[in-house]
Chain A
Amino acid sequence: MQIILNGEPHPLEGDYTLLALLETLEVEKEHTALMLNGAVIPATSWHKHILKENDEVEIMVFVGGG
């Protein structure tokens, strides 16, 4: 299936939770905040959300800013 990850199509094989997705991307989990279809998902709930076709996931990190 396909999800939209940070604005780009991203293929996925099999069932993924948000948590599993992050682990495959080798992202520092503590450094990221996630949105699923426009809603902020707290880290404690990442394992609860199973991704579906066309879900929009945004993975945000802190960068420099004024």
Chain B
Amino acid sequence: MNDPLTFQNETLHSRLLIGTGKFANVETMIAAVKASGTDLVTVALRRFNKAQAEDDLYGPLAQLEKVKLMPNTSGAMNAKEAIRAAMLGRELSKSRFIKLEIHPNPHHLLPDPIETYEAAIELAKQDFLVLPYIPADPVLAKRLEDVGCAAVMPLGAAIGTGKGLSTAEMIRIIIRDTQVPVIVDAGLRAPSEAAQALEMGCEAVLVNSAIAAAEDPEAMAAAFKTGVESGRAAWKAGLMPTSEAAVASSPLTSFLSRDD
């Protein structure tokens, strides 16, 4: 099925993006990434530690030929740090993709809209494909589109909470008003929720915790793959409308029955 998702000159064939954090070990993560069919995964940056050399994912991920790497800026507390993290990430990934995430509060990990906006301005100028992780705020989404972000990534719910599309109504508005792709990131727990996001008109979803924390991550990744494909196919097929019962007690158009 030829239904690619394009960002400027980069093209993705899968609408499921995978986060590589929280897995028990590298082998499980790689198996899940493969099962998901994804062609874009996020990675984080951390100090090299010889004692934990197996944490270095570069080697294992490089073996998955078609999978692109998107560094994230997690750990950054403000725009300046996020910009520096993005520059470092680009050195390694050699790609323009950057997931801009700035969440200074470790209890809820919700994104800082102000620092994110400031960082996005600079990163867009530096020719990154900026995919900012944001609260589901339609005005913020337009602001980020204005400064040149390649997409917007509103959260469904706070990271790791698995509360699904708690921001669905706001996401609907973002989809309606934004001209760049809308990718739901964070909070998804079940493949049905990913399907729902695609059915609403999102271009893709990014899933991490739901797969890494599942009993069988590889199988869950495969389930998310079919969920995303199903949601996208349904959206393209045109869902039937929810009905709206009429409530007026007397006819509204009787004034038209006169001859013109």
Decide if A33 is an interface residue (CB 8 Å cutoff): yes
Q: Which of A7, A30, A38, A65 has a CB less than 8 Å from the CB of B58?
A: A30
Alpha-carbon separation in the docked complex, A30 to B56 (Å): 11
Q: Evaluate contact between A28 and B59: CB separation under 8 angstroms.
A: yes
Of the listed residues B48, B59, B69, B88, the one surrounded by the most CB atoms of chain A closer than 10 A to its CB is B48
Q: Evaluate contact between A64 and B43: CB separation under 8 angstroms.
A: yes
- With A31-B59, A60-B88, A61-B56: A66-B48 Cβ-Cβ less than 8 Å: no
Q: Evaluate contact between B74 and A64: CB separation under 8 angstroms.
A: no
Of the listed residues B57, B61, B206, the one surrounded by the most CB atoms of chain A closer than 10 A to its CB is B57
Alpha-carbon separation in the docked complex, A27 to B89 (Å): 17
Selecting from B21-29, B134-142, B170-178, B214-222, the interface stretch reads B21-29
Q: Evaluate contact between A6 and B208: CB separation under 8 angstroms.
A: no
Decide if B87 is an interface residue (CB 8 Å cutoff): yes
Q: In B60-109, which residues have CB < 8 Å from any A CB?
A: 61, 69, 71-72, 74, 84, 87-89, 91-93
Decide if B45 is an interface residue (CB 8 Å cutoff): yes
Q: In B103-126, which residues have CB < 8 Å from any A CB?
A: none
Q: Which residue of chain A lies nearest to B73 when distances are taken between CB atoms in the complex? A: A65
Give the number of residue pairs across the A-B interface with Cβ within 8 Å. 101
A 19-41 to B, binary, CB cutoff 8 A, 1 in contact else 0: 00000011110111111001010
Decide if A50 is an interface residue (CB 8 Å cutoff): no
Alpha-carbon separation in the docked complex, A32 to B55 (Å): 12
- With A33-B91, A38-B84, A43-B91: A62-B57 Cβ-Cβ less than 8 Å: yes
Count of residues in B whose CB is under 8 Å from the partner chain: 37
Q: Which residue of chain A lies nearest to B43 when distances are taken between CB atoms in the complex? A: A62
Alpha-carbon separation in the docked complex, A35 to B92 (Å): 12
Within the complex, what minimum Cβ distance (angstroms) separates A30 from chain B?
A: 7
The 10 A-B pairs of least Cβ separation, nearest first, read A65-B44, A66-B19, A66-B208, A31-B58, A33-B91, A64-B20, A62-B43, A59-B48, A64-B21, A33-B88
Jot down 17 A-B pairs with beta carbons below 8 A, ordered by A: A26-B50, A28-B59, A34-B91, A38-B84, A40-B91, A61-B55, A61-B56, A61-B92, A62-B56, A62-B57, A62-B58, A62-B61, A63-B46, A65-B43, A66-B44, A66-B72, A66-B208
